[in-house]
Amino acid sequence: MLGPVEVRAGDDILALGGTRSECILAALLLDAGRVVSIGRLVGAAWGDDPPGSARIQVQNRVGSLRRLLRGAQPDGTLIATKGSGYLLLLGDWEFDLNRFDQEIARADALEGAGSLVEASRALSSALSLWRGSALDGLSTPLLQAAAVHLEERRLNTLERRVQLDLDLGRHRELVPELTNLTGAHPYQEGLHALLMLALHRSGRQTEALHAYHRVRQLLDEQIGVAPGERLRTLHESLVRGDDGPSLVPPAGALPPVTVRAAAVPRELPADVAGFTGRRSAIEELDTLLSDDAQPATPVVISGTAGVGKTALAVHWAHRAAGRFPDGQLYLNLRGYAPTPPVRPAEALGVLLRSLGVRPERVPTDGEEAASAYRSLLAGRRMLVVLDNARSAEQVRPLLPGSPGCLVLITSRDRLAGLAARDGAHRIALDILTPDEAETLLTRLLGQRRVRDEPQAAAELAELCAHLPLALRIAVANLTQRPYRRIADLLTGLRAGNRLAALTADDDEETAVQVALDRSYATVSPAAQRLFRLLSLLPDGDFSAAAAAVLADICLTEAYPLLDRLAGAHLIEECGKDRFTFHGLLRQYAWDRALAQHAAPEGALTLN
C-alpha cells in the first residue's frame, strides 16, 4: 500500500484483476481485522457514481480475490464473510503498512533508551518501505483521503528522522536533502524550519534568514496566510542569535506539519439554554471521537423542522471543542431560509477567510477553492459545523480530505447521497419523549410553575407534539406574561389555530408554521398532494397501501412519494411499509388541504 497496491507471492506479483479490485483490496487492508460493509467497498471502488450493479460486482470481485489469494496461500482464509460485509485476516501475510508501524514503534523505544543513532536507522528503515505515493493510481474519494493521511504520516516520520540527525550533529549533510524536500513540499512549514536550523548550525546564518523570507513570501503570495508560530519563533530566535539546539522541540514532540492561519477560529454559536435529552445521540457522537486515525467521516443529524438538530449539534460541539485544538468552524448554509441557500463556492470563501486567507487571495474557481480548503485543513484537528444544509451537492465540496477533522451537518433532509457516496454517519432525531418534554418545560418555565399545574404542563407538551421548537415558543410567550397560567395558554391552543398560535410574539420567523412551510416547499407537487391527503387518515400510523388507495395511485407510484416525504421528515417511517407523523405535522397537512382544496361552497373536495 505504500506505493501502488501490490500483492507478492515470492518473487511474483499477482494480477489482482484491475483497478476496481485493487480499490476493494485496499479498502479491506485499511480496515484489516475489522468488518467492512459492502457499501463502503462500493464507495472505495466507484466513488461518487457507482453503477446499479455495484454491490453484485463487489461480491464477484471479492470472490475472485479470495481464489487468487488462496492459490498463493492454500492453508489460510484471508477474506471472510461477516454479516453484510467482509473481514480481512492477514494471518502470515506480510503487510508493508504494518512493518512501517513496527519500525516507528522500534524507533520510539530506541529513542526513549537514548539510542539516537539506532532510532534514526529505524526511521530510515520505515521510510525505505515506501515505493512511491501511497495507494498510487487509486482515485476514489475514500482512498484519496486515506492516501493523504498516509502521506502525512510519511512526512511526519521524515521530519522526525531529520530532527534526530540534527540532534546527532549531521546538520551540514542535511542541508542538500532539506533543500530538495522543501522544494518538493513547499507548504510543509516543519521542513522549512528544519532547513533554517540546519543552515544556522552549519554557520550559514544569513542563508537561514533568507530561507525564512522565502517561505513567508511563498505562503503570502500563493495561499494568503502568514507563517505559523513555529516558524515565526524560530526566525525571532535566529535574529537574536540564540543557540540552535533550543530553537525547536525534540523530535518526539514535533506537531503535525501544516500551514496554519494566524488565528484559531472559535466560531460556535452560544450553547442552547435548557438543553434537554438526546442522551443516546450524544453518546453516539462521542463514539466518533475514539479513533483519530480513521478517514474523516461526515456526520448528518437529520430530523423534522423544529426537532432540535442545531441545538444538538451546537451543544455537543461545545462539549467536544477541547478535542479540536486547531479550532471550530460554523457556517449556516441557509438550506431552509427565506433567502436562497448558500452556494458551495460562497461557503468555501467564508470558510477560507475564517482560516486566515485574505479575501483577495480566495480562489474564485470552486474547485481551486475546495483544494485550498482541504490543504489548509490537512494535518489539523478541527470541528466543522455545517448547519441547515439543503442537499448533498451543497455539502460535498466542504468536506475535508484527511483525518483529524470532524464535520457535523444538520439538515431536514436525510442527505442519503452523503451516506451512499461519502460514507456519512447518520443520526435521525425524533420528537422528545413525554418525560423529556416535561423536563424541558421545567427548565425553561421554572419548577414551581410546572409543579403548580402538572396536568396543564403535560397537556401543553402534548399539544406541542413534544416538538422542541413548539415548546420553546410556547414557553417564550408564557414568560413574557408572568401572571398568565399554563391553562390560559391551553385555552387559546385548543380553541384556535394551533400553528398560528405557536409563533414568537415579536419574531414572525420563529414560528412552527414558517418552519414547516419551508420543508413542504422542497418536495414535488405530487408528494405535496399525498401529504395533504394523509391528514384525512385516522390518528396513528398508516400503511403504504392505505396511502396509495387514498391518493388513487398504484403502490409503485406511492413508494417514491412516501420515501421523499420521509426523506424531508414530513412523515417518519415507523415499520415495514408503515409511516406516521406527529400532531403538528398532521395539523399542518390538514390546513394545507383546506387551503388547497376548499370548494367555493365550503365543501372539501380532495380528488
pLDDT at position 257? 29
359 CB contacts (<8 Å, ≥6 apart)? 353
pLDDT at position 260? 36
Tell me the per-residue pLDDT of 324-350, one tens digit each, with 9 for 90 and over: 888 899 999 989 888 889 999 999 999
- For the chain, the distance separating the N- and C-terminal CA atoms, rounded to the nearest angstrom, is 62
Residue 525 banded pLDDT, cuts 50, 70, 90: very high
Matching fold, domains 97-253 and 523-597: no
Residue 498 banded pLDDT, cuts 50, 70, 90: confident
Higher pLDDT, residue 212 or 141: 212
pLDDT at position 252? 39
Give the mean model confidence (pLDDT) for residues 528-540: 87
Tell me the per-residue pLDDT of 354-399, one tens digit each, with 9 for 90 and over: 888 878 778 888 888 888 888 888 778 889 999 999 999 999 999 9
Closest by CA position to 492, among listed 444, 459, 450: 459
Any idea which fold 279-428 has? Answer: Rossmann fold (3.40.50)
Return the CATH class of domain 8-94. Answer: mainly alpha
Q: Residue ranges of the alpha helices (H) in 129-225?
A: 141-167, 171-184, 189-201, 205-222
Residue 74 banded pLDDT, cuts 50, 70, 90: low
pTM of the model: 0.55
- Parse the chain into domains and list their residue ranges: 8-94, 97-253, 279-428, 434-515, 523-597
Three cell numbers at 6?
Answer: 501490490
Q: Residue ranges of the alpha helices (H) in 464-601?
A: 468-479, 486-495, 498-501, 512-520, 525-534, 544-551, 555-567, 583-597
Give the mean model confidence (pLDDT) for residues 160-166: 92
462 with 474: CB under 8 angstroms?
Answer: no
In the predicted structure, residue 603 carries a pLDDT above the cut 50: no
Any idea which fold 97-253 has? Answer: 1.25.40
Higher pLDDT, residue 604 or 484: 484
pLDDT at position 344? 93
Closest by CA position to 87, among listed 54, 41, 44, 42: 41
Q: Report residue 424 CA to chain centroid gap.
A: 7
Return the CATH class of domain 523-597. Answer: mainly alpha
Higher pLDDT, residue 259 or 116: 116
Give the mean model confidence (pLDDT) for residues 251-278: 62
Lowest-confidence pick of 246-255, 313-322, 437-446: 246-255
Q: Report residue 346 CA to chain centroid gap.
A: 19
73 CB contacts (<8 Å, ≥6 apart)? 9, 91, 92, 93
Determine the Cα–Cα distance for residues 387 and 333; give it in Å rounded to an integer. Answer: 6
As a dihedral over the C-alpha atoms of residue 282, residue 300, residue 389, residue 438, rounded to 10 degrees, the angle is -30
445 with 478: CB under 8 angstroms?
Answer: yes
pLDDT at position 538? 81
471 with 437: CB under 8 angstroms?
Answer: yes
Tell me the per-residue pLDDT of 49-71, one tens digit each, with 9 for 90 and over: 788 888 899 999 998 888 888 77
Q: Among residues of the chain, what percentage have pLDDT more than 70?
A: 90
> What's the mean per-residue pLDDT of the chain?
84
pLDDT at position 250? 41
**Phi-psi group of 415: left, alpha or beta (phi > 0 → left; psi -120 to 50 → alpha; rest → beta):** left
- Cell 463556492, residue located: 345
Give the mean model confidence (pLDDT) for residues 417-438: 89
pLDDT at position 350? 92
Determine the Cα–Cα distance for residues 550 and 217; give it in Å rounded to an integer. Answer: 69
pLDDT at position 494? 81
Lowest-confidence pick of 290-299, 460-469, 562-571: 290-299
